[in-house]
């Protein structure tokens, strides 16, 4: 301060600022505390929150925690009070041995910003250890010729404490022959010596019992005692002497156990037994007595336990040489341990994340770790590296801390996880390395829509399918994961023939299987175009569409439908007309049929299944034309019944039949002439069973009577028919014989026109119908077009009433 006062005012201010800046720089980032040893767990050490400039409640929110390099945690954070407290009992002697200054260093990590602060805690000593001697009882042998003032080195005591709490003085119990003198060595230790004050007389007292007390200056004062038994001998007044007051040797830490590292030598000026020297290692509490062994005869020092540079960089061995009578001297051996590269680098993972989103920006921190090598010098020089072609890099921080960060955006669909190997290599020879593995999972985001393997699909389903039948399965793949890859399927809804599509087809939303909800009819619709949508469950949802063409396959489920001839609506039987003069191959009629199916299922063939006169008619296999097979004969019956079968070519084939009645006559009057016989024959067939029952019951005479009655009725009916034909014969005579005449509701083609004539003998009216011409009929021929039209019949024929025809049996024939 006197120097500052002598300086000018301005220069003093500049110098003061520089001093303050240097002091501030030295304290940045480091906090120092002091705490005595052996205090209770949870004892207050320092206010971390205040020193960090934070409130106590911020410690937990900002992730403040203690980071140390693998050693046991001695301190902990009290998040409630924001203070640093002890984590357990701290033993300074165990932690720092007899070092004057015992410092514990560790780091404070703020996880929210990954800031590191250094903390240094000084552990102060308390007087918790009393001085202790290596042996409880010491036996000394002194020649009676020893002159006063002779000094005998005694076993020194050891106190694990330091400072005022360590060994401070020795005291000897009161006696007449010996006193105590304490000498301080170059290392600062105190060595007691027993001083002979008065000559000994073995005959007066052969053994002297002394008590040596070692005391410290702690509060309270602690002490330790050793009993000394002094044996008075007659001779041997010289103690052994070492060749060196102190020995030094350097040994590599990897030297094998059992190796001799040094030989100490002491000589004794006496002769004989008094000159025989034995070597002993001072049993001072510590590790050195366990590491080294001293051969008592040769003085060789060998390795008993492997050396470790990282545990102890040097060892001090106290060697004692004692002659035969018991005189001894002491020397010190200092063993310096040389470091070899025997420790691989060690990783301490401070913070690491196991998962990262694939859309994380470059520079995202994956892990924070520390690398340490317990070796020293070049052996502890560390370099860290990553494998090539990985989207990560290492960033070096303070105190060998490293950050693992990303260098580019990640793609989970390309690599869903990374097993990152971080290699730490030291600079020793040979070099040692350690690998640390960081397993990183790439979290998925919904950045891929479901994709179908095909751009479109085609499916086929037979008609008349059962409800619930499976049609096709469509599957879309989403390269994302979890909910982002969970695909659901749906159909685009639209109306189909007035009904929603969902009433015909459904799709399983989980499997993509399409099912038929109704039975399809090929004749209703033959194909459907559907749109299948695949949608994932991510946020936001992504989807894709694909078209599906569904074709309905035809089944043979429709029997042929006969369009011609059709059955009359009044219950009568249709009749076709064939002239007796027809030549073989004459076209009588044509059976026309269709099939609602398609393809082979609609390919029809015709065949004659049954005929009244076999061999008289033939049916075209593919045309359905009914033609005469031979010329008609007089013996051929007037009425011919034909059963024509129409069959498709499906599997199984379906068929339909139609019954044709062919009337053989040259003209309409011939048909009318034989009409009565047809009716009577019909009535006889229908009532034959009843007649035979009556015959079975009645007598033979009744049969004869019935026969006569029937014969008489036929004759009368024939007479009435003849009268009717005579009246209309003039007007119908001009009609060609090839024209069709319907009896009992017969339908026929009359060349270019189709006429229907219904003449019944038992009704009050008969019918004659002239429908519109049908030029598309297959029976039209050039010849028929040249014939006279039946429409040329005089109008008066249509106006004939009851008075035109005579009454027969109380009935009148009518044309309407």
| pLDDT-based confidence at residue 628 (cuts at 50, 70, 90) | very high
Backbone angles phi, psi at 732, to 5 degrees: -95, -5
Quick check: 26 pLDDT over 60?
no
CA nearest 212: which of 277, 156, 149?
156
The residue to which tokens 């470790």 are assigned: 308
| pLDDT-based confidence at residue 523 (cuts at 50, 70, 90) | confident
CA nearest 162: which of 210, 116, 218, 117?
218
Looking at per-residue pLDDT, the higher value among 807 and 478 belongs to: 478
Note the pLDDT of residue 60: 80
Q: H or E segment at 137? A: strand 137-143
pLDDT tens per residue, range 37-48: 888 888 888 988
Mean pLDDT to the nearest integer, 569-574: 54
Mean pLDDT to the nearest integer, 575-589: 88
**Rounded Cα distance, 749 and 502, in Å:** 51
Note the pLDDT of residue 778: 33
**Rounded Cα distance, 478 and 476, in Å:** 7
CA nearest 744: which of 788, 657, 805, 683?
683
Note the pLDDT of residue 669: 63
Quick check: 323 pLDDT over 60?
yes
Looking at per-residue pLDDT, the higher value among 764 and 123 belongs to: 123
Average pLDDT of every residue of the chain: 78
pLDDT tens per residue, range 724-751: 655 544 443 333 333 333 333 333 333 3
Quick check: 689 pLDDT over 60?
no
Please list the residues that pair with 334 across neighbouring strands: 248, 316
Mean pLDDT to the nearest integer, 463-475: 90
Quick check: 1 pLDDT over 70?
no
Note the pLDDT of residue 497: 80
CA nearest 535: which of 501, 472, 493, 484?
484
Note the pLDDT of residue 674: 59
Quick check: 599 pLDDT over 70?
yes
Note the pLDDT of residue 577: 85
Q: H or E segment at 318? A: strand 314-322
Note the pLDDT of residue 650: 87
Mean pLDDT to the nearest integer, 339-358: 90
Task: Look up residue 142 and give its two tokens.
Answer: 């002194």
Mean pLDDT to the nearest integer, 6-34: 53
Query: Order of strands across the sheet with 314-322?
Result: 246-252, 328-338, 314-322, 278-281
Quick check: 703 pLDDT over 90?
no
Mean pLDDT to the nearest integer, 253-258: 91
The CB density around residue 315, as the number of other CB atoms within 10 Å, is 19
Note the pLDDT of residue 764: 37
Mean pLDDT to the nearest integer, 358-374: 91
Q: In this structure, what DSSP letter does residue 484 have?
A: G
Contact 605, 655 (CB under 8 A): no
Note the pLDDT of residue 441: 92
Dihedral in degrees, nearest 10, Cα atoms 254, 257, 259, 261: 70
Note the pLDDT of residue 568: 65
| pLDDT-based confidence at residue 95 (cuts at 50, 70, 90) | confident
**Rounded Cα distance, 346 and 353, in Å:** 20
Please list the residues that pair with 748 across neighbouring strands: 755
Note the pLDDT of residue 157: 87
pLDDT tens per residue, range 264-319: 999 988 778 888 999 998 877 666 778 899 999 999 999 999 888 888 888 989 89
Model confidence, pTM: 0.43
The CB density around residue 772, as the number of other CB atoms within 10 Å, is 7
**Rounded Cα distance, 92 and 161, in Å:** 8
Contact 545, 531 (CB under 8 A): yes
Query: Order of strands across the sheet with 346-352?
Result: 346-352, 365-372, 401-406, 392-396
**Rounded Cα distance, 128 and 93, in Å:** 10
| pLDDT-based confidence at residue 668 (cuts at 50, 70, 90) | low
Mean pLDDT to the nearest integer, 537-548: 91
Mean pLDDT to the nearest integer, 502-524: 89
DSSP secondary structure, 498-525, as one string? TEEGGGTEEE-TTT-EEEESS---TTT-
Note the pLDDT of residue 580: 84
Contact 478, 521 (CB under 8 A): no
Mean pLDDT to the nearest integer, 616-622: 92
């Amino acid at each position: 301060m006197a120097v500052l006062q002598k300086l000018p005012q301005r220069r003093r201010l500049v110098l003061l600022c520089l001093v303050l800046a240097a002091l501030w720089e030295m304290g940045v980032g480091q906090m120092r505390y002091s705490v005595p040893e052996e205090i209770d767990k949870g004892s207050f050490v320092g206010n971390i929150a205040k020193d960090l400039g934070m409130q106590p409640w911020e410690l937990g929110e900002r992730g403040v925690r203690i980071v140390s390099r693998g050693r046991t945690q001695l301190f902990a954070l009290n998040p409630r009070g924001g203070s640093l407290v002890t984590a357990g009992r701290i033993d300074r002697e165990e932690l720092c041995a007899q070092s004057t200054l015992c410092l514990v260093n560790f780091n404070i990590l703020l996880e929210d910003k990954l800031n590191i602060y250094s903390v240094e805690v000084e552990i102060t000593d308390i007087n918790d250890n009393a001085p202790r001697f290596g042996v409880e009882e010491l036996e000394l042998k002194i020649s009676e010729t020893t002159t006063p003032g002779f000094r005998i080195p005694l076993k020194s005591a050891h106190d694990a404490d330091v400072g005022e709490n360590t060994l401070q003085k020795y005291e000897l119990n009161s006696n007449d022959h010996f006193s105590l003198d304490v000498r301080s060595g170059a290392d600062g230790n105190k060595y007691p010596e027993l001083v002979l004050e008065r000559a000994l007389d073995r005959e007066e007292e052969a053994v002297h019992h002394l008590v040596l007390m070692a005391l410290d200056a702690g509060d309270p004062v602690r002490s330790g005692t050793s009993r000394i038994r002094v044996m008075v001998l007659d001779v041997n007044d010289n103690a052994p002497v070492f060749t060196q007051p102190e020995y030094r040797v350097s040994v590599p830490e990897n030297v094998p156990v059992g190796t001799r590292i040094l030989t100490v030598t002491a000589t004794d000026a006496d002769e004989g037994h008094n000159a025989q020297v034995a070597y002993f290692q001072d049993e001072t509490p510590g590790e050195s007595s366990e590491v080294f062994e001293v051969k008592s005869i040769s003085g060789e020092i060998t390795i008993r336990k492997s050396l470790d540079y990282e545990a102890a960089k040097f060892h001090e061995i106290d060697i004692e040489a004692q002659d035969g009578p018991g005189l001894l001297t002491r020397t010190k051996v200092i063993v310096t341990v040389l470091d070899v590269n025997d420790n691989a680098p060690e990783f301490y993972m401070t913070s690491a994340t196991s998962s990262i989103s694939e859309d994380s920006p470059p520079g995202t921190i994956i892990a924070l770790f520390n690398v340490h090598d317990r070796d020293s010098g070049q052996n502890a020089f560390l370099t860290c590296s990553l494998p090539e072609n990985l989207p990560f890099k290492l960033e070096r921080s303070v105190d060998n801390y490293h950050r693992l960060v990303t260098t580019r955006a990640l793609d989970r669909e390309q690599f869903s996880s990374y097993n990152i190997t971080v290699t730490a290599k030291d600079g020793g020879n040979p070099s040692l390395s350690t690998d640390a593995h960081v397993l990183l999972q790439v979290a998925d985001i919904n950045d891929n829509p479901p994709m179908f393997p095909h751009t479109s699909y085609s499916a086929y389903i037979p008609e008349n399918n059962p409800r619930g039948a499976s049609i096709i399965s469509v599957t879309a793949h989403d390269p994302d994961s979890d909910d982002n890859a969970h695909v659901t399927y749906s159909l685009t809804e639209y109306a189909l023939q007035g009904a929603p599509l969902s009433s015909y087809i459904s799709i399983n939303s989980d499997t993509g299987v399409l099912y038929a909800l109704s039975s399809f009819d090929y004749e209703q619709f033959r194909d459907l175009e559907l749109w299948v949508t695949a949608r994932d469950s991510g946020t936001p949802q992504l989807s894709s569409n694909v078209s599906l063409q569904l074709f309905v396959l035809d089944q043979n489920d429709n029997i042929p439908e006969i369009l011609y001839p059709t059955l009359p609506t009044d219950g009568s039987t249709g009749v076709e007309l064939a002239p007796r003069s027809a030549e073989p191959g004459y076209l009588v009629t044509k059976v026309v049929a269709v099939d609602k199916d398609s393809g082979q299922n609609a390919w029809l063939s015709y065949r004659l299944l049954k005929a009244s006169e076999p061999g008289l008619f033939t049916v075209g296999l593919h045309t359905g034309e009914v033609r005469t097979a031979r010329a008609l004969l007089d013996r051929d019956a007037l009425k011919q019944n034909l059963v024509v079968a129409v069959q498709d070519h499906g599997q199984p084939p379906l068929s339909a039949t139609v019954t044709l009645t062919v009337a053989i006559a040259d003209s309409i009057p011939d048909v009318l002439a034989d009409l009565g016989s047809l009716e009577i024959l019909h009535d006889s067939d229908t009532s034959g069973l009843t007649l035979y029952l009556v015959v079975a019951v009645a007598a033979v005479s009744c049969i004869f009577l019935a026969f006569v009655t029937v014969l008489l009725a036929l004759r009368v009916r024939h007479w009435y028919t003849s009268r009717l034909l005579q009246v209309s014969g003039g007007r119908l005579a001009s009609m060609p014989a090839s024209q069709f005449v319907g009896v009992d509701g017969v339908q026929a083609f009359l060349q270019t026109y189709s006429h229907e004539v219904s003449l019944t003998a038992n009704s009050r009216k008969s019918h004659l119908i002239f429908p519109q011409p049908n030029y598309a009929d297959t029976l039209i021929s050039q010849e028929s077009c040249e014939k006279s039209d039946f429409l040329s019949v005089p109008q008066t024929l249509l106006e004939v009433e009851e008075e035109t025809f005579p009454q027969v049996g109380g009935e009148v024939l009518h044309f309407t």
